[in-house]
Amino acid sequence: MTINEVVDRHHQNEFNNHGNLFSKHNTTNMTFRDRHEAAFLLEEQLVEFKNCDGIVVALPRGGVPVGFVIAGSLHLPLQVVPAKKIGHPQNKEYAIGAVTLAGYKVLASIDQVSKSYINEEAERISKLLEKQNSMYNEGRYLKSFEDKIVIVVDDGLATGYTAEAALKYIKSKKPKQLILAVPAASKNALNKLKPLVDKLFCLKQNDDFQAVGQFYQKFDQVEDYEVIDYLNRSEILQF
């Protein structure tokens, strides 16, 4: 069974009237129908990595549907690296940093935010990520990133703090190449992350970036059980 068949079977009603997911699009002014369409379009830019000695790493939860399609199309294993933003104390949706596995932190320079708040939030988030990592990866064989081509994917980048934390964590594992691929991102985030990677792929860049969801017609929250389902089905596709 191909990746197209798996995605189509999972979302048959949504895809019936959509047409060819591999058709060319004008990426200057567009919204993606959903994360799967964005992933198929992004995968067209990544064909050089098909069947390489690599791993696709998705940032949960929104990046996992994207990673599932890309990993299947490139015939690569799919793994996740849990990471989560640190929200501003007065607006939790506004990221001032991020935490990933092993408590790896990336922080903005915010003078008004106390160190005690940041440390408490980082500790709280680290515990959540440990539980999340156990839930997603329990019983799975996880390949080492060392000497591998690691393709990190997400559904989009606003501030880029979460991706930055994940990239720095993965980079510490000494991959052969570190690639970042996203359907959409703010130019500020891309400029910040470009020095961390060997190659960067992005279909849609925008100065007026308000939220990742603005680039999608359908942008439902991805639940934990869906992440696990994508990982399970990706493992099946490897055989």
Residue type for position 195: P
Residue 55 lies in a domain: yes
pLDDT value, residue 230: 98
Measure the CA–CA gap between 13 and 191, rounded to whole angstroms: 38
Q: Which two tokens stand for residue 62?
A: 């929104």
Average confidence (pLDDT) per 10 residues, the chain, 239 residues: 54 38 43 96 97 98 98 97 93 89 80 88 93 94 97 96 95 97 96 97 89 94 97 89
CB of 108 within 8 A of CB of 161?
A: yes
pLDDT, position 111: 77
- How confident is the model at residue 97, as a pLDDT? 92
Q: Judge whether 16 lies within some domain.
A: no
Q: What is the dihedral of CA 180, 94, 136, 171, to 10 degrees?
A: 40
**Total domain count for the chain?**
1
Residue 124, in any domain of the structure: no
Is residue 217 in a domain? yes
What domain range includes position 78?
Answer: 33-82+140-237
